[in-house]
Amino acid sequence: MSHLGPVTRYGSGRLEMALPTVRGCNIDDKPAKPSEKEHSDRQEENQDGTKNKITLGQSGQGQLGPGRIVPCLKILISKGLGLGIVAGSLLVKLPQVFKILGVKSAEGLNLQAVLLELVALTGTIVYSVANSFPFSSWGEALFLMLQTITICFLILHYRGHTMRGVALLGFYVLILLVLLSPLMPKAVVTLLQATNMPAVIVGRLLQVITNYRNGHTGHLSAVTIFLLFAGSLARIFTSIQETGDPLMAVTFIVSSICNGLIAFQLLYYWNVKIPHKWEKKHQ
């Protein structure tokens, strides 16, 4: 169990401050022998008249020093940032959902792009669960998946294919249960995660092409896109720090670049209004 704050250890007449026990920041219970250069010792008299040394460690195994503060701070920052991303993911795509419901149209959103994003999110969830990664390193994928499948249904619903939307929901739940099954070979799970990069690239490029052809971004939510861009950037750091998995890190780097392209288009087409004839035709 990880500690959330400094822990004071007492033993063998030595007073030590230990940092939180988290991955990559473990401090050995056996202190290293202090050197004269690294430590300053002072004598403290106990009630029974004996003297014990209180060693103020500057570095070394089992002691709090600059060599340990920086790595541990990185981990704590990563944990806090990861949990913040997970909490924020609860609201990331809600502006997009509300915008679709408000205008009763999903025009401007490419269904294939949204489905590919759903594939990428599913791969991240399954791969992370299979590898027992900490929830703070991938938890937002779960909430984004729920919101993304909702957007898929709304796109189909407002295009007059409600039953297809319902079938999609049922089929997806079944596939997800199979992928999360303990019987699923790890090679298949790794392959699914490896497909994340092409899925993200193709999906985002499809949306970029759709925006370019339309000459505007339709009913895309600027809030959602900018939050996705910021979240994917932050995930590069947390995935490296918490999982050490290069596949996860590269996936978020690619995702950041693609999200950045769509964010740029939103700014570029910011003052462009949807043509009245186009909007009326697609309602």
Residues 206-231, mean pLDDT to the nearest whole number: 89
pLDDT digits (tens, 9 = 90+) for 89-129: 778 889 999 999 999 988 889 999 999 999 999 998 999 99
Beta strand 51-57 with 14-18: parallel, antiparallel or unpaired? unpaired
φ/ψ bin of 27: left (φ > 0), alpha (ψ from -120 to 50), beta (otherwise): beta
d(CA 57, CA 63): 6
pLDDT digits (tens, 9 = 90+) for 12-31: 443 343 333 444 455 444 44
Position of tokens 């991240």? Answer: 124
Residues 215-224, mean pLDDT to the nearest whole number: 87
Give per-residue burial for 112-150: e unless 16+ CB within 10 Å, then b.
Answer: ebbbbbbbbbbbbbbbbebbebbebbbbbbbbbbebbbb
Predicted structure pTM score? 0.64
Tokens encoding 82? 């990861």
Q: Which of 40-44, 63-67, 92-96 has the highest mean pLDDT?
A: 92-96
d(CA 34, CA 27): 15
pLDDT above 50: residue 73: yes
- The pLDDT value recorded for residue 102 is 92
Q: pLDDT exceeding 70 applies to what percent of the chain?
A: 71
φ/ψ bin of 160: left (φ > 0), alpha (ψ from -120 to 50), beta (otherwise): left
pLDDT digits (tens, 9 = 90+) for 150-182: 999 999 999 999 999 999 999 999 999 999 998
* pLDDT band (50, 70, 90) for residue 66: low
* pLDDT band (50, 70, 90) for residue 57: very low
pLDDT digits (tens, 9 = 90+) for 226-280: 988 988 888 888 778 777 778 778 888 988 999 999 999 999 998 887 775 544 4
* pLDDT band (50, 70, 90) for residue 67: low
Residues 25-54, mean pLDDT to the nearest whole number: 47
* pLDDT band (50, 70, 90) for residue 68: low
Question: Which of 221, 182, 2 has the alpha carbon at shortest distance from 99?
Answer: 221
d(CA 89, CA 145): 10
- The pLDDT value recorded for residue 244 is 77
- The pLDDT value recorded for residue 87 is 75
| 176 burial via Cβ count (<10 Å: 0-12, 13-18, 19+) | middle
